[in-house]
């Protein structure tokens, strides 16, 4: 247990930040799942959902919820899947 006022405050702040980061990460996962599902089903709204997912990844990386390289990798994978699906649909 914390012995002084500053240490007690740090525990409280850390708990708040942990909760906020969990909520942000959960929202990010939901957005990514919606985007992947739309791409797989060749949904006409897939383009808009892809842009939303990319925006969410950028925000998460900026807030240090996820690492910037992970965000970049996931954006690349989503874009690649989207382009492949649209190219197959165009044929």
What pLDDT shows up at residue 89? 83
pTM of the model: 0.88
Q: pLDDT category, 1, cuts 50, 70, 90?
A: confident
Concatenated DSSP letters of 21-58? HHHHHHHHHHHHHHHHHHHHTT-TTHHHHHHHHHHHHH
Mean predicted lDDT score pLDDT of the chain: 95
Q: What is the pLDDT of residues 41-75, one digit of tens each?
A: 999 999 999 999 999 999 999 999 999 999 999 99
Higher local confidence (pLDDT), 90 or 73:
73
Among 70, 50, 62, smallest CA distance to 24 is for 62
């Amino acid at each position: 247990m914390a012995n002084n006022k500053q240490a007690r405050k740090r525990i409280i702040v850390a708990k708040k930040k942990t909760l906020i980061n969990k909520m942000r990460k959960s929202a990010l996962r939901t957005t990514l799942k919606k985007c992947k599902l739309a791409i797989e089903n060749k949904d006409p709204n897939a383009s808009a959902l892809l842009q939303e997912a990319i925006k969410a990844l950028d925000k998460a990386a900026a807030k240090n919820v996820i690492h910037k390289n992970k965000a970049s990798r996931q954006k690349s994978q989503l874009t690649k899947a989207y382009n492949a699906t649209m190219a197959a649909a165009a044929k």
